[in-house]
Amino acid sequence: MRVPFQQLHDTLRGVLENRGMQPPRADLCARLFAETSRDGVYSHGLNRFPRFIRMIDLGVIDVSAEAACVAAHRAIERWDGHRGPGNLNAYACMDRAIALAREYGVGCVALSNTNHWMRGGTYGWQAADAGAIGICWTNTLANLPPWGAPEPRVGNNPLIIAIPRPAGHIVLDMAMSQFSVGALSQYAARGEALPVAGGYDEHGELSRDAAAIERTRRLLPIGFWKGSGLALALDAVAAVLSGGRATVDISPIPERESDLSQVFIAIDVSQTAEPAAASALLDAIIAFTQQPSVDSVRVRYPGERTLETRRRNMQEGIPVDEEIWRQVVAMAG
Amino acid sequence: MRVPFQQLHDTLRGVLENRGMQPPRADLCARLFAETSRDGVYSHGLNRFPRFIRMIDLGVIDVSAEAACVAAHRAIERWDGHRGPGNLNAYACMDRAIALAREYGVGCVALSNTNHWMRGGTYGWQAADAGAIGICWTNTLANLPPWGAPEPRVGNNPLIIAIPRPAGHIVLDMAMSQFSVGALSQYAARGEALPVAGGYDEHGELSRDAAAIERTRRLLPIGFWKGSGLALALDAVAAVLSGGRATVDISPIPERESDLSQVFIAIDVSQTAEPAAASALLDAIIAFTQQPSVDSVRVRYPGERTLETRRRNMQEGIPVDEEIWRQVVAMAG
């Protein structure tokens, strides 16, 4: 089943207004969820929305709380998210980082006490749409075992790097595990083997069996020790700069996951790069990587598939899980 | 065979002065090479030095050229490396990024027309020693096949993230391939299997056979499609910000590798974080990840092994390859 973008946006906004969110904030919050489904990241769009509402109902997310600047020194600022809606907080901080970049060339905003930002790529697209390079990441609860450890002790912290490009932004949005928990569930439900090893089975062996990895919770960090180290470094920078919590201090219960720390860096490309030259350069980089390819596999640049999905979903409507959609429509009613 | 740090430093400085490098620059350049061996990154210390000298003799590296600022807008600057010695250029740019961070809270320097910076971690340690968070990366020649491609079309671009910590800085220094070319050679020479798959063999299968991967040159990016995308994004940001070359335009001949682009970001932690709180937080992050471990494997934080090696090599002398050492001593004579 597919629903038009506008209908999805309106429905989500209605639910948020019912929960007491002020209309302009409900509009933006709903739009960011709807755009996430529109762009094909279904796990963090509509499908995630019911959990977001439960977190509001549990009091973990405060619909009225707004992020605010608590310390500033020219191009760097520290913001407190006050446990407000994670996507609104993150959007406000990337917006501020972009404004700082316009003034100083580069800007950095570190955010504490915030909630899950949903799709990290959202803030990369936001920066690139504004003509800025955007680099951002979040920490999260301990949901990934560091290399050599049996238990989750680092966060599966996504890193986003976005570069504005007239023909389509380059937007990398990558978490530290080879497969997300959501992807594992989908493979397990289909009974399909992962294309490459995604974690460890009960015998401590690397495995392509998604169900086995779900049981052990031992997801594989990308690059083994490398992804593990990168996750730790991102957590450390986010917590130190924001003055907020590190993964070690974040509740391990997903529906209580709160008090996250995030970093938003924006760089104003127009201060240094001549736009036409930058655009031609990015086109050349992409063309170079895309040929020759092996057999029918075409090398894609980060963000390419997102644009394809976005175009199709805007034309044909956004695919929704009927049960979840029915549930959300009822909440709006 | 081991030689004392000071002797290594003095010998390398002598060779550089013989090549016409001015004494203060020769001293710093030699120190950075010697410190790289001291810290256990032998491939980019003394062992790399003869190739560095050949590149000087070939005219690829200009010993007298200095990096200079060509455009500035407050916290962001664009520098031209003028094909000078890569480690001196990178050191000067991180130094400038740190100064910008002191003034603006965050600073960014993008460098074009530079040569190989040798060990990337050097500039992370430099920032952390100055009390700043350092984030930097370089592009390089096309030496890594993107995910799905048979030929090298992205650079094995290292990314460095350093966080100052009184008990030992956290310094992540990771290239985009699962194993470096140097590591593959060592495994191949010992006839030892890689601990995990490191690339593809002649049949297009993932392999732990280092010699087979050396033959195909199809090294595996960390996280398959993820490391491939990260390499492309880092290249794009470096080339756009510096106005220099992207991997597509860099000579594929290693001894002609020049005109690289790099980015140096420094963040002055003292502007936002209370030092004692930051230190305690970093200690807590590390302690959390280090237990419980599996069997005898201890989870190490990025930078931990470097400090251990540094202490041992300063006490016992720095291990050198006798043939290379003999060759370099002769150049100094």
Read off the pLDDT of residues A57-87 as tens digits, 9 standing for 90 and up.
999 999 999 999 999 999 999 999 999 999 9
Partner residue facing B302 (CB), from A233, A277, A288: A233
Residues B86 and B153 reside in one and the same domain: yes
Query: Is pLDDT above 70 for A143?
Result: yes
How far is B63 from B69, CA to CA, in rounded Å?
Answer: 18
Q: What is the phi/psi pair of residue A284, to 5°?
A: -65, -40
Residue appearing with tokens 């991997």: B247
A91 in a structural domain: yes
Mean per-residue pLDDT of chain A: 94
- Residue A313: predicted pLDDT: 98
Partner residue facing B289 (CB), from A110, A146, A286: A146
Q: What is the CATH number of the domain that holds A197?
A: 3.30.60.50
- Residue A270: predicted pLDDT: 83
Which are the catalytic amino acids of B? 44
Q: Average pLDDT of A163-177?
A: 96
The separation between the first and the last C-alpha atoms of chain B, rounded to the nearest angstrom, is: 20
Query: Is the backbone peptide bond immediately before A292 cis, with ω within 30 degrees of 0?
Result: yes
- CA dihedral (A250, A254, A256, A260) in degrees, to 10, reads 40
Bridge partners for B81 per DSSP: none
> Quick check: is A9 catalytic?
no
> What sign does the dihedral A217-A223-A226-A232 (CA atoms) show?
negative
Contacts of B196 in chain A (CB under 8 A): 206, 224
Residues A245 and A117 reside in one and the same domain: yes
Residues B44 and B71 reside in one and the same domain: no
Q: How confident is the model at residue A295 (pLDDT cuts 50, 70, 90)?
A: low
Instruction: Indicate the number of domains in chain A.
Output: 3
Of A214, A229, A264, the domain-final residue: A214
- CA dihedral (B283, B284, B289, B291) in degrees, to 10, reads 100
- Residue B90: predicted pLDDT: 98
Partner residue facing A148 (CB), from B108, B206, B297: B297
Residues B19 and B161 reside in one and the same domain: no
CB contact under 8 A, B289 and A149: yes
- Residue A9: predicted pLDDT: 98
User: What residues contact residue B159 under an 8 Å CB cut-off, 6+ apart?
Assistant: A230, B120, B135, B136, B137, B172, B174, B175, B176, B230, B234
Spatial contact of A126 and A92, defined as CB atoms under 8 Å apart: no
Residues A108 and A182 reside in one and the same domain: no
With b for 16 or more beta-carbon neighbours within 10 A and e for fewer, the B240-256 pattern comes to bbbbbbbbbbbeeeeee
A62 in a structural domain: no
User: What residues contact residue B236 under an 8 Å CB cut-off, 6+ apart?
Assistant: A163, A170, A281, A282, A285, B246
Residues B130 and B276 reside in one and the same domain: yes
Residues A106 and A250 reside in one and the same domain: yes
Q: What is the CATH number of the domain that holds B45?
A: 1.10.1530.10
Over chain B (333 residues), the average pLDDT of each successive run of 10 is 98 98 98 98 95 96 98 97 98 98 98 97 98 97 89 94 97 95 89 94 93 93 94 98 96 89 96 85 94 70 97 98 97 89
Contacts of B244 in chain A (CB under 8 A): none
What is the chain A residue with the closest CA to B70? A272
Residues A168 and A277 reside in one and the same domain: yes
Residues B52 and B77 reside in one and the same domain: no
- Domain carrying residue B106: 65-176+221-302
- Residue B187: strand, helix, or coil: helix
Size of interface A-B (CB pairs under 8 A): 258
Nearest to A328, CA basis, from A25, A50, A9, A40? A50
Nearest to B31, CA basis, from B50, B55, B8? B8
Spatial contact of A145 and A90, defined as CB atoms under 8 Å apart: no
Q: Average pLDDT of A18-29?
A: 98
How far is B83 from B259, CA to CA, in rounded Å?
Answer: 7
- Residue A254: predicted pLDDT: 83
Contacts of A267 in chain B (CB under 8 A): 76, 108, 237, 241
Residues A152 and A249 reside in one and the same domain: yes
Q: What is the CATH number of the domain that holds A122?
A: 3.30.1370.60
Q: Say which of A44, A73, A169, A203 is annotated catalytic.
A: A44
Angle at B166 between CA B165 and CA B169, to 5 degrees: 40
Residue appearing with tokens 């003394």: B46
- Residue B100: predicted pLDDT: 98
How far is B60 from B254, CA to CA, in rounded Å?
Answer: 11
Contacts of A236 in chain B (CB under 8 A): 163, 170, 281-282, 285
Residues B192 and B169 reside in one and the same domain: no
How far is A318 from A4, CA to CA, in rounded Å?
Answer: 6
Residues A250 and A117 reside in one and the same domain: yes
